Amino acid sequence: MILNPVLESAEFIHNHSKHVSIPKDGIVHGAAKIFEAMKKTHYDTSKWKEHPLNPKECNANTVDWIFLVDLLNFSFWSDIDIGDTGVPHPDRYRVTFHGVGYTGYWSMVAAVNRALEEGIPITTPSFFASEEKLPDKEIERIFRSDTKEQVPLLQERIRVIREAGRVLLEKFDGRFTNCIAQANGSALKLVELVTSNFSSFRDEATFCGRKVQIFKRAQILVADLWACFQDKDYGHFKDIDEITMFADYRVPQALYHFHCLHYSPELLLILDRGELLPNGSELEVEIRGNSIWAVELIRRRILELIEQEVIEKQKQLSGDDDAPLPKMMKVNAILIDFFIWDFAKAAQLDLTLGQRPVKVHRTRSVFY
Ligand SMILES: Nc1nc2c(c(CN[C@H]3C=C[C@H](O)[C@@H]3O)cn2[C@@H]2O[C@H](COP(=O)(O)O)[C@@H](O)[C@H]2O)c(=O)[nH]1
């Protein structure tokens, strides 16, 4: 079994961090709270399709859609909306689709869906690779805003679109489904294919003299396929549980809220001032690496809680031999991450202004 290099990197970062740590009691309490909430909401892969902007059909075109969305799934925090409370500043980048104004991650998804409805085949690689068929100006129009703030990193978005289109045409016959086929049902192999062929997915850094892999967008790409196809067809991966949490800027904020991350006073000051943290800098890598490791510890703790529950249930049923064994709830780092991210969006006001307020860290990069 090949080990996920991201998990090894996360443990290394954790063991060599100076400004970020993981309180043991925070993990125990946080895991219990998250587990209870996941049980109450029956949090599983079916939640993915419930998002109004996520596709309801599952076919090869959906794979193209997921590839493009996760190619562009980076850097939505606003230079204008410094409060970032979840009640959007009126001037921050916003895309209205079907009468609803979207900001943050969902604004990009809304722009993609709007283009498709306008008859622009934006998810087709042979189309988005070509400057003749899809000029830069047209990409700018596709991501146009309702407000004066433009989509962050527009030029980088154009650049990664062209690069990915070219690689898909040159190496995978113009369809990401061919890349999935080469992975042969392995999630880790698909992450490796994506990060080795598409440079904009190669999310890694040098930390304490060692290369460390974070691979946020490559892993969430695999996770979105798995959740959308519910472990079937293009989303079937035998080693899906090896995928880690996706180190973005939103989930670390929620982990801090749950006392699952501890920050040094210097780091808290930097976050509070909204100072930029360069991509690959020591503080930024410590936040991202410890977030991955904290979710791994939460995952292990939740599996212990599940085991305890099963033993309890078996004791209760011990008299009745032909009673069916209690169905174990499926929990892995993906579902924990998706749950925490959805929670963070719903509770953003509390995370930014509540008892334990903290701001997201501000890094501009195409990696997350
Ligand atoms: N770790 C993690 N990071 C995630 C997501 C998602 C969207 N996933 C949805 C789709 C299916 C799932 O059910 C989720 O509902 C976006 N991001 C990251 O967040 C940031 C945007 O934040 P804001 O500016 O506040 O919108 C940005 O770095 C983006 O890359 C996730 O799930 N996990």
DSSP output for 112-166: HHHHHHTT--TT-HHHHT-TTTS-HHHHHHHT--SSSSPPTTHHHHHHHHHHHHH
The ipTM value here is 0.98
DSSP output for 53-83: TS-S--SHHHHHHHHHHHHS------SS--S
- Kindly state if the Cβ of 251 falls inside 6 Å of ligand 1: yes
| Residue to substitute in 85, 250, 360 for testing ligand 1 pocket (most ligand atoms within 8 angstroms of CB) | 250
Q: Is 19 within 8 Å of 283 (Cβ atoms)?
A: yes
- Kindly state if the Cβ of 246 falls inside 6 Å of ligand 1: yes
Mean pLDDT taken over the chain: 96
pLDDT at 326: 65
pLDDT at 328: 78
Instruction: Give which of 120, 126, 125 is closest to 140, Cα–Cα.
Output: 120
pLDDT at 314: 85
Task: Give the whole-angstrom CA distance, residue 37 versus residue 23.
Answer: 21
- Kindly state if the Cβ of 226 falls inside 6 Å of ligand 1: no
pLDDT at 53: 98
Q: Is 115 within 8 Å of 146 (Cβ atoms)?
A: no
Task: Give the whole-angstrom CA distance, residue 30 versus residue 93.
Answer: 33
Percentage of the chain lying above the pLDDT 70 cut: 99
- Kindly state if the Cβ of 105 falls inside 6 Å of ligand 1: yes
Q: Is 38 within 8 Å of 333 (Cβ atoms)?
A: no
Q: Residues 42-57, buried b or exposed e (16+ Cβ, 10 A)?
A: ebbbebbeeeebbbee
Res. 1: pLDDT tops 90: no
Task: Give the whole-angstrom CA distance, residue 303 versus residue 297.
Answer: 10
Measured in Å, residue 59 CA sits from the centre of ligand 1 at 23
Catalytic residue among 70, 248, 320, 350: 248
Average pLDDT over residues 258-275: 98
Q: Is 337 a catalytic residue?
A: no
- Kindly state if the Cβ of 248 falls inside 6 Å of ligand 1: yes
pLDDT at 89: 97
Measured in Å, residue 334 CA sits from the centre of ligand 1 at 12
Average pLDDT over residues 133-143: 98
Q: Where are the alpha helices (DSSP H) in the chain?
A: 5-15, 24-40, 47-50, 60-71, 105-117, 125-128, 136-142, 154-171, 176-183, 187-197, 216-228, 251-257, 265-273, 282-317, 333-346, 348-353
pLDDT at 241: 98
Residue 290 neighbours by CB under 8 Å, 6+ apart: 10, 13, 14, 17, 20, 21, 22, 252, 261
Average pLDDT over residues 323-341: 88
- pLDDT, tens digit, for every residue of 147-188? 999 999 999 999 999 999 999 999 999 999 999 999 999 999
| Residue to substitute in 34, 56, 84, 105 for testing ligand 1 pocket (most ligand atoms within 8 angstroms of CB) | 105
pLDDT at 322: 74
Average pLDDT over residues 299-318: 91
Task: Give the whole-angstrom CA distance, residue 238 versus residue 9.
Answer: 22
- pLDDT, tens digit, for every residue of 22-70? 999 999 999 999 999 999 999 999 999 999 999 999 999 999 999 999 9
- pLDDT, tens digit, for every residue of 204-257? 999 999 999 999 999 999 999 999 999 999 999 999 999 999 999 999 999 999
Q: Is 78 within 8 Å of 109 (Cβ atoms)?
A: no
